[in-house]
Structure 1
Amino acid sequence: MKLVLATSNKGKVREIKALCEDYEVIPYSELIEEFEIIEDGDTFKENALIKARAVFNAINDEDIVVLADDSGISVDVLDGEPGIYSARYAGPEADDKDNLYKLIDDIKAKGVKSSPAHYTAAIAIVTKNAEYCVHGWMHGTALAEAIGDGGFGYDPMFIPLGYDKTLGELDDDVKKKLSHRAKALSLAKIILKSF
């Protein structure tokens, strides 16, 4: 089965491909020109469905299955920020590093070195017949510093529950078992098998 990803984020594409080895996974940008999708939902679920629907409709092929991920980190000391705004936390033109260091600075501004935090991943699946959405979570601690250069996004500042290293330091094999995206994808695969 061919899965079309409603993302052009190279980190996400790489991670989803690694977690979905039984499927042919391609970013939508290999089929059509990239276009802006306005994510104006209030939840990860709404934004994942918005992305999946937009790509499904743009490709205009009833036989495809579109998979979209909306994910982010929520930090307790910041009242759950950045949440659904994780990808554009430092502004619309910001990259991963800009977002990472803004979040570190915001935690430091609260006068703490760390805070409980969690990642959420919502995976939406859109086909000609149905729409689905599943979730996965990963709990842990957000640090007011970056350690390790592995992974992407906020990985260097997040220590998963039960570990003493950041996602930026942990091996990919360990991350595969822990990640919010891996947990959501394992549920998504149950749905995909039913097609």
Structure 2
Amino acid sequence: MKLVLATSNKGKVREIKALCEDYEVVAYSELIEEFEIIEDGDTFKENALIKARAVFKTLGDEEAIVLSDDSGISVDVLNGEPGIYSARHAGIDANDKDNLYKLIDDIKAKGVKESSAHYTAAIAIVTKDYEYCVHGWMYGTAHAEAKGDGGFGYDPMFIPLGYDKTLGELDEEIKKSLSHRAKALSLAKKILKTL
């Protein structure tokens, strides 16, 4: 079964391919030209569905199964920010490093070195006949310091519950078993088996 990912984020594509080894996984940009998708939803679920619907429609292939992920980090000391704005926390053209260091600065500005936080992943599946969305969460602590160069995004500042290393320092296999995206994808796979 071929899954078309509604993302061109190389980190997400790599992670989803690794977590969905039983499927042929392709980024939509391998099939059609990349285009801008306006994510104007108020929740991870709404934005995941917006992305999957847009790619399904643009592909023009009724047999396509499009999978999208909308995810981000919510930091308690920042009242849940950046949340759905995680990918553009430091501005629209920001890269992973810009976002990471902006969030570190935001936590420091509150006069603390860490805060409880969690990641959310919403995985949407869109086909000709169905639309689904499932969620996964990972809880832990956001630190005002980056450690490790594994993973992507905010991984170097996030320590999962029960661990003393950041996602940037942890082994890939451990991260796979903990991640919000892995949890959401395990639910998505149950849906894919029924299609």
Instruction: Tell me which interval the TM-score lies in, with the shorter structure as reference length.
Output: over 0.9
Specify the alignment match of 1:111 in structure 2.
Answer: 111
- For residues 119-169 of structure 1, the C-alpha deviation after alignment (integer angstroms, 9 at most, x for no partner) is 000000000000000000000000000011110000000000000000000
Which secondary structure state, in structure 1, belongs to the residue aligned with residue 22 of structure 2?
A: coil
- For residues 49-107 of structure 1, the C-alpha deviation after alignment (integer angstroms, 9 at most, x for no partner) is 00000000000000010000000000000000000000000000000000000000000
Shift of 1:117: 0.0
Q: Could you list the runs of 4 or more consecutive aligned residues of structure 1 that deviate by over 4 angstroms after TM superposition?
A: none
Distance 1:148 1:24 in 2: 30
Q: Give the letter aligned to residue 178 of structure 1.
A: L
- In structure 1, runs of 5+ residues without a counterpart are none
Shift of 1:33: 0.1
Distance 1:187 1:36 in 2: 28
Which secondary structure state, in structure 1, belongs to the residue aligned with residue 47 of structure 2?
A: helix
Which secondary structure state, in structure 1, belongs to the residue aligned with residue 162 of structure 2?
A: coil
Specify the alignment match of 2:12 in structure 1.
Answer: 12
Q: Give the letter aligned to residue 147 of structure 1.
A: K
**Structural mapping, 1:32-181, within 5 Å:** 32-181=32-181
Specify the alignment match of 1:187 in structure 2.
Answer: 187
Q: Give the letter aligned to residue 57 of structure 2.
A: N
Q: TM-score, normalised by structure 1?
A: 1.00
Shift of 1:2: 0.2
Which secondary structure state, in structure 2, belongs to the residue aligned with residue 187 of structure 1?
A: helix
Distance 1:81 1:174 in 2: 26
Distance 1:92 1:75 in 2: 20
Which secondary structure state, in structure 2, belongs to the residue aligned with residue 153 of structure 1?
A: coil
Distance 2:162 2:101 in 1: 24
* Length, aligned pairs only: 195
Q: Give the letter aligned to residue 89 of structure 1.
A: H
Distance 1:77 1:25 in 2: 37
Distance 1:139 1:89 in 2: 20
Identity, % of aligned pairs?
85
- For residues 3-25 of structure 1, the C-alpha deviation after alignment (integer angstroms, 9 at most, x for no partner) is 00000000000000000000000
Distance 1:109 1:94 in 2: 20
Which secondary structure state, in structure 2, belongs to the residue aligned with residue 102 of structure 1?
A: helix
Which secondary structure state, in structure 2, belongs to the residue aligned with residue 22 of structure 1?
A: coil
